[in-house]
Amino acid sequence: DVKVTQSSRYLVKRTGEKVFLECVQDMDHENMFWYRQDPGLGLRLIYFSYDVKMKEKGDIPEGYSVSREKKERFSLILESASTNQTSMYLCASSLRGLKSSEQYFGPGTRLTVT
Amino acid sequence: QQQVKQSPQSLIVQKGGIPIINCAYENTAFDYFPWYQQFPGKGPALLIAIRPDVSEKKEGRFTISFNKSAKQFSLHIMDSQPGDSATYFCAARTFIEGKLIFGQGTTLQVKP
């Protein structure tokens, strides 16, 4: 059974803290994605990666960075957390090519920045 | 601009009803249109998908209708059940990058 796991389900951080969100997939997928989900805005792509050491900016990369040192792991970093980054963060993975539209999502991390 | 607009934001139907969720897009550089279903506390999961050269696709009680000239597509749920209560997202895949652009989501409640 395919699986995408995220390091925390709930996280509370203070403004200005550096925050790490970890994602691991066990399906040997090439593509990995980070989204944030906000009511009325849907899922918005923050960053994605097609391969190890590679990263591409999504639609809302400001205030975030990512790291992909191993194929199965994709980390999202908030360099200096702000209250407007309070959100649900979802990680996903997929194969390349024609199968890329079938993304497998983790359960999400609800981050609150106070 | 790459955008997918989804409506309505929320929908309440009685059991057995046929909820319809609509999506529209502007960019023609999309090559695949999936729908995702999300239950509370879970990540979204692929429900059904359609290519733009097909006008309709049916899987069980779920049907996608696609109108390429109008740049619109919709999800119909036949004989809806309380277990279909969830948030539904339409999406469009960009041809070059292969990334998904999601709609705003529709929260569906099916009353018993």
The token pair that represents B65 in the structure block? 């209708």
Q: What is the pLDDT of residue A2?
A: 67
Q: What is the mean pLDDT of chain B?
A: 94
Q: What is the pLDDT of residue A86?
A: 98
Residues from A in contact with B at Cβ < 8 Å = 4, 31, 33, 35, 40-45, 48, 56, 58, 90, 92, 96-97, 100-108
Residues from B in contact with A at Cβ < 8 Å = 6, 9, 32, 34, 41-46, 49, 89, 91, 93, 97-105
Based on the number of CB atoms within 10 Å of its own CB, is B72 exposed (0-12), middle (13-18) or buried (19 or more)? middle
Statement: residue B105 has pLDDT above 70: yes
Mean pLDDT computed over B89-109: 92
Q: What is the pLDDT of residue B25?
A: 95
The distance of B37 to chain A (nearest Cα, Å) reads 11
Lowest average pLDDT, out of A91-100, B10-19, B31-40, goes to: A91-100
How many whole angstroms from its chain centre is CA B82?
18
CB contact under 8 A, B6 and A43: no
**Contacts of residue A4 in chain B, CB cutoff 8 Å?**
43
Beta bridge partners of B93: B32, B100
Q: What are phi and psi of A72, to 5 degrees?
A: -85, -5
Give the count of Cβ contacts less than 8 A between chain A and B.
Answer: 56
Q: What is the pLDDT of residue A59?
A: 92
Q: What is the pLDDT of residue B95?
A: 79
Statement: residue B97 has pLDDT above 90: no
**Cα dist from A17 to A46, A91, A114, B23, B47, whole Å:** 19, 21, 10, 38, 37
Asked whether the beta carbons of B21 and B8 are under 8 A apart, the reply is yes
* In A16-75, alpha helices (H): none
**Contacts of residue A3 in chain B, CB cutoff 8 Å?**
none
- Report the percentage of chain B scoring pLDDT > 90: 86
Q: Minimal CA–CA distance to A68: which of A57, A78, A76?
A: A76
Q: What is the pLDDT of residue A26?
A: 95
* pLDDT < 70 stretches in chain A: 1-2
The 8-class DSSP code of residue B94 comes to E
Which of A101, A102, A104, A105 to mutate against chain B (most B CBs within 10 Å)? Answer: A101
Nearest CA in chain B to A3: B43
Angle at A91 between CA A89 and CA B72, to 5 degrees: 90
Q: What is the pLDDT of residue A1?
A: 67
Q: How far apart are CA A48 and CA A56, in angstroms?
A: 5
Q: How many CB atoms lie within 10 A of CB A48?
A: 25
Q: What is the pLDDT of residue B2?
A: 67
Q: How far apart are CA A88 and CA B103, in angstroms?
A: 16
Q: What is the pLDDT of residue B18?
A: 97
Which of B99, B104, B107 to mutate against chain A (most A CBs within 10 Å)? Answer: B99
Q: What is the pLDDT of residue A101?
A: 78
**Contacts of residue B34 in chain A, CB cutoff 8 Å?**
101-102
